[in-house]
Structure 1
Amino acid sequence: MDKIKVITDSLSDIPKDIAVKYDISVMPLTVRFGTKEYKDGIDLTTEEFYKKLEEVEEMPKTSQVTPVEFKGAILEAFDKGYDSVIIINGSGQVSGTHQSAVIAKEEINRESIYVFDSTALAYGCGMIVVEAAKMAHDFRPLGEILEKIEKMIDGSQQIFSVDTLKYLHKNGRLSTGKMALGTLLNVKPILAIIEGKVEPIDKVRGNKKLYKRLIEVCKEKGLQKGAKIGLGHAANREGLSTLRSLIEEEISPSEIIETEVGCTIGTHTGSGVLAIYFIAE
């Protein structure tokens, strides 16, 4: 039986207890507010990130995990007796982290290293990582795990709501006029990850319509009754609780994992975000 190590980056928003349980190594991106740098999830918690985001005018920047850091993690896994290493990264369209992992693999030059661009973000990527790690934990054959990863990447869905238009405006996705009008009308955009990028797909007015529309969009994209789902929030536990109750009533998921939306999505959206993650069959 192959001993398989699963590695990802902090774009995946995997809860720490789950990462520990399934022996997942999470490589932190660097978050930069002005001249000060933080390791995502290590030096800066999600709660601290959103607090800082409210306080600053200049948008924070994120820096990718470096090839040297990936090389260190891969070689450490082999030194500990792992036969193969699987790396699943957040979308290569958003971060250069995936390319860093590819470079590290090429430099080490061993056939038993497998690198995937999930084309997903947040726990949309995390779900793929966790399912792969569960299979590795159960000593499933390597080929079966690799095939499953490819299928999950194809089916991964991530749907987000945005509570404030301020950050879409700051990031150049919304004009000043549209932001002002949207704020006046209490417009709530709905975003999805499409071909690895954050894209607007719909909008509603007010929270009451928002929860219903989020679930409708997910069903349109293949969410089935009894599915495993992830629910994410950005400093919005009250909204998460409401959304969870509605989903439990309408979808009856077989599993719900709650997670916090991290800095990569949060930089685009600000706090208040709600997210639904699932893998369409």
Structure 2
Amino acid sequence: MRTMKLGAAGPTVPVVAVGCMRINNLDGPAAERFVQAALDLGANFFDHADIYGDGACEEIFAKAVHMSPSVREKLILQSKCGIVKNPRMFDFSRRHIIESVEGSLRRLGTEYLDVLLLHRPDALMEPDEVASAFEELAAAGKVRHFGVSNQNPGQMKLLQRAMGSRPIVANQLQLSITNCNMISNGFNVNMENDSALCRDGSVLDFCRLHDITIQPWSPFQYGFFEGVFLGSDKFPALNRVIDEIAERHGVSNTTVAIAWILRHPAHMQPVAGTMNPGRLADICRAADVTLSREEWYAIYQAAGNVLP
């Protein structure tokens, strides 16, 4: 698997992350086969969150990988915290962050996380309090790198000011061929159309300027978990173009959809959510496929995105 640097100061990681949100849908033997398949592909970066399966996903993963010190050395583990289900709210308090990390470490059977992300923005965030939690976790050797998820440039700048020299290494954001406003608004500067609406504060440019790796989540979804665009009769033109390009490269349509993201010069790290080893192999194969400029733009426009 081709690798990349996570942010300016993060670890060297595979260009595809393995999302573990659905690993609790697998029984023990199937989870073990899936994790081993990922490792065989060189996909040793696993993305978790304390709320996935109410913590069960981290436990299932640890059992599936047969966690031990020698196994841990071969893994890159990322988890997220900050979402509270009951009562429904977000919590970036020092106490919650530290307790969440302790819980993830216990469930994963490890002494440290390579990366910790704040899951969704907390309107009541006190940046100095978050930075204090990060410092405590880093000093104790429990978290090595920190990042965010679903945050805009202003929110990141506010947090980074409190973090000082410790950089934000990643920002996990929704992005797919059909959900690409962060790209589209850059084409439509000063235009009077919906695509010109900047809904994220130019987060794509901000992350590139500050060496923050974007980790696209739901790279095959359209809308907000409305469905997968591949094979959907809602996107006939897009599927036709993707299938033609896939045939040209001798790969699957799944591979092309991820290759489209990897072709962007921001050097993103898409998060694959599949629990199917064969589909994961197709996703990872995108690391070896480079779309031409003509192919990238053909896919972009076939999804209904209009160039000015």
Using the size of structure 1 for normalisation, the TM-score is: 0.32
| Structure with the higher strand share, 1 or 2 | 1
Considering Cα pairs closer than 8 Å and 6+ residues apart, tell me whether 1 or 2 has the greater RCO.
1
